[in-house]
């Protein structure tokens, strides 16, 4: 009897020849990458390289003009953002995306609720309210914001706002989370705490994480593989040491190989 050929595990997230042209400008060009379940991938590249746009294409905020996006082997290219959230993809945004007048806990509950597939209507049945609230409390505890639960979110310090955004994505129980510069604007002292938080979310919750980050020491400290973007294209996607030794990458960053 023929033994089945062993196949590699289906990537949790994949793009195939993904492209985006806007008005004749190539914003994302022929990006094919496969992310393994449970992996932490760093995404680096100069300003304007297309990192945020890639996240927009992955999360469904923007539609590609070429190629496909797959979540766990399923083509989601035509799916709206909420459908991708329910398929297991969560994201935070590069700019703060919290409702400033709502309490911290309510912001997280709304995020959990929408990921659960519940309605956002305030008159929904209490029975459906609970799980989202439980998850919100768990997530706030997880990021260390439990004692700020009843503060209006707008009053949080900047570093705490980034933690809140992380709690919002954690409460959704996404398998894959996209973090777009979660350390942006964070004071030097707070960076280490956030790095540890991302590390533990990845290791203890077993999340797959895609992290766009400019601070190389952060990316090198966290990522198992690093994707390098340049002019919308994927220049390299490999383990950190291989990426750092890659001449094309060095040329793109420094103008010449080291």
Ligand X SMILES: Nc1ncnc2c1ncn2[C@@H]1O[C@H](COP(=O)(O)OP(=O)(O)OP(=O)(O)O)[C@@H](O)[C@H]1O
53 scored as a contact of ligand X (CB under 6 A): yes
Count other C-beta atoms under 10 Å from residue 1's C-beta: 3
CB of 27 or CB of 183, closer to ligand X:
27
Residue 50, contacted partner among ligand X, Mg ion, none, CB below 5-8 A by kind: ligand X
CB of 106 or CB of 180, closer to ligand X:
180
- Number of alpha carbons in the 13 Å side-chain half-sphere of residue 219: 25
174 scored as a contact of Mg ion (CB under 5 A): no
Phi, psi angles (nearest 5°) of residue 85: -60, -45
Asked whether the beta carbons of 71 and 13 are under 8 A apart, the reply is: yes
CB of 51 or CB of 207, closer to Mg ion:
51
CB of 50 or CB of 88, closer to ligand X:
50
How many residues touch Mg ion (CB under 5 A)?
2
Asked whether the beta carbons of 103 and 150 are under 8 A apart, the reply is: yes
CA distances from 63 to 56, 68, 104, 123, 185 (A): 8, 10, 31, 33, 29
Distance in Å, CB of 12 to ligand X, minimum: 22
27 scored as a contact of ligand X (CB under 6 A): yes
48 scored as a contact of ligand X (CB under 6 A): yes
Residue in the shown chain whose Cβ atom is closest to Mg ion: 52
Helix residue ranges, H only, the chain? 51-59, 81-86, 104-116, 126-143, 158-171, 188-204, 216-222, 240-245, 247-254
Distance in Å, CB of 45 to ligand X, minimum: 5
208 scored as a contact of ligand X (CB under 6 A): no
45 scored as a contact of ligand X (CB under 6 A): yes
Q: For the CA atoms of 162, 165, 171, 173, what is the dihedral angle to 10 degrees?
A: -100
Query: From CA 209, how far away is CA 43, in angstroms rounded?
Result: 10
Query: From CA 145, how far away is CA 227, in angstroms rounded?
Result: 31
Region of 46-54, 69-77, 119-127, 128-136 interacting with Mg ion (CB under 5 A): 46-54
52 scored as a contact of Mg ion (CB under 5 A): yes
Q: Which of 8, 47, 123, 188 binds ligand X (CB under 6 A)?
A: 47
Region of 51-59, 63-71, 138-146, 247-255 interacting with ligand X (CB under 6 A): 51-59
49 scored as a contact of ligand X (CB under 6 A): yes
CB of 11 or CB of 90, closer to Mg ion:
90
* Nearest alpha carbon to residue 140 among 98, 176, 179, 95: 98
Which residues contact Mg ion (rule: CB under 5 A)? 51-52
Which residues contact ligand X (rule: CB under 6 A)? 22, 27, 45, 47-53
């Amino acid at each position: 009897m023929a033994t089945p050929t062993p196949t590699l595990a289906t990537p949790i997230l994949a793009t195939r020849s993904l492209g985006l042209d806007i008005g004749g400008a190539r914003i994302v060009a022929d990006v094919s990458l496969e992310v393994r379940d449970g992996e932490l991938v760093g995404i680096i590249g100069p300003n304007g390289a297309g990192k945020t746009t890639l996240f927009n294409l992955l999360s469904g905020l923007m539609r590609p003009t070429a190629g496909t996006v797959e979540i766990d082997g399923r083509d989601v290219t035509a799916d709206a953002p909420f459908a991708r959230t329910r398929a297991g993809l969560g994201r935070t945004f590069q700019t703060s995306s919290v409702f400033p007048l709502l309490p911290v806990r309510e912001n997280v509950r709304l995020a959990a609720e929408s990921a659960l597939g519940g309605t956002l209507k305030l008159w929904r049945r209490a029975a459906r309210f609970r799980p989202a609230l439980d998850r919100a409390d768990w997530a706030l505890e997880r990021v260390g914001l439990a004692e700020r639960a009843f503060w209006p979110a707008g009053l949080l310090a900047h570093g705490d706002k980034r933690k809140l955004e992380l709690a919002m994505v954690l409460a959704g129980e996404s398998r894959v989370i996209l973090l777009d510069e979660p350390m942006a604007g964070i004071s030097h002292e707070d960076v280490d705490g956030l790095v540890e938080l991302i590390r533990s979310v990845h290791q203890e919750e077993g999340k797959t994480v895609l992290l766009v980050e400019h601070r190389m020491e952060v990316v090198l400290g966290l990522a198992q593989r690093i994707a390098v973007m340049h002019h919308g294209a994927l220049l390299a996607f490999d383990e950190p040491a291989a990426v750092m030794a890659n001449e094309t990458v060095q040329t793109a960053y420094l103008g010449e190989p080291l």
